[in-house]
Amino acid sequence: MEEFEIRLENVSMEYPGSKKITGKTLDNVSLDIRKGEFLSILGPSGCGKTTLLRIIADLIRPVQGRVTVSGTDAEQARLAHKYGMVFQSPSLLEWRTVLQNIELPLELQNIPKKQRREIAMEQLSLVDLYGYENSYPSELSGGMQQRVGIARALASDPEILLMDEPFSALDEFTRERLHGDILRIWRNTKKTIVFVTHNISEAAFLSDRVCVMSSNPARIAALTDISLPRPRTPALLKSDEFFRTVSQLREVFEERYYENI
């Protein structure tokens, strides 16, 4: 029997003043996410992907439906620090060092200074930034800043990592490096990852499954298994198997998305 960590049941969301035909941003979304799975939510900008991720994280509440995490509701999961969140911009505090930025969520949990310093140093090593602990964000590249953001999200040892287009603002070479980093972290920590993206190749390379979103309003148009072998390496990007997978995923996306426009 499959073990589901996150369950969304008939989730709908609408905002005041919405001009969509139904008035809804999300419409009747149901989705089961397996424990330890890497699932990507794929769709164009503005289709409701981030709204769905924020509902999972209990940052906003749906107008209909419910979210459960390991059998409890999303609010209890948030209060129990089951989530780590990585945003498109790492939003680091410029006046704090790398180490102090990573320690921030532990400070908010009143973790003793010595313990949070040890945890933060462990996370620095995990994201391959050991030696940069006393640097400031302005001294780091965009890719390095995003790795600090990932380390900060992991500092409280969440069961679930929620990632909202974290690599979209980066150049292609940096993005590919970070793909390798996040897959290594996922493999080593065995966390459940929900990853929002509008990049079809990125979704294919990283994921176990891809959830394709339609729009006006957002619904789940398709759930596609990705059968590419693991571990995923840069060499895979040049393979016929990868090109076929991307083409198949693109066909699913175009067929299901454009029919809803």
Q: 13-62, pLDDT tens digit by residue?
A: 987 655 444 456 888 999 999 999 999 999 887 778 999 999 999 999 99
Check whether 95 has a pLDDT greater than 70. Answer: yes
Q: Comparing 13-27, 47-61, 109-123, 213-227, which segment has the lowest mean pLDDT?
A: 13-27
Q: Which of 57, 104, 62 is nearest to 79 (CA)?
A: 57
One-letter amino acid of 202: E
Mean pLDDT of 173-188: 94
Helix (H) or strand (E) holding 225: strand 220-225
Q: Which of 149, 150, 156, 211 is nearest to 184 (CA)?
A: 150
Q: How far apart are CA 152 and CA 155, in angstroms?
A: 5
Query: Quick one: DSSP state of residue 170?
Result: S
Torsion from C-alpha of 188, 153, 220, 71, nearest 10 degrees: 80
Q: Which pTM was predicted?
A: 0.93
One-letter amino acid of 78: R
pLDDT-derived band at 4, boundaries 50, 70, 90: confident
Check whether 199 has a pLDDT greater than 60. Answer: yes
Q: Can you read off the two tokens belonging to residue 50? A: 């981030």
pLDDT number for residue 143: 94
Reduced to 3 states (helix: H, G, I; strand: E, B; else coil), residue 64 is strand
Query: Quick one: DSSP state of residue 2?
Result: -
Q: How far apart are CA 81 and CA 259, in angstroms?
A: 39
Of residues 217 and 177, more confidence is placed in 177
Distance set, CA 164 to CA 48, 161, 209 (Å): 12, 10, 16
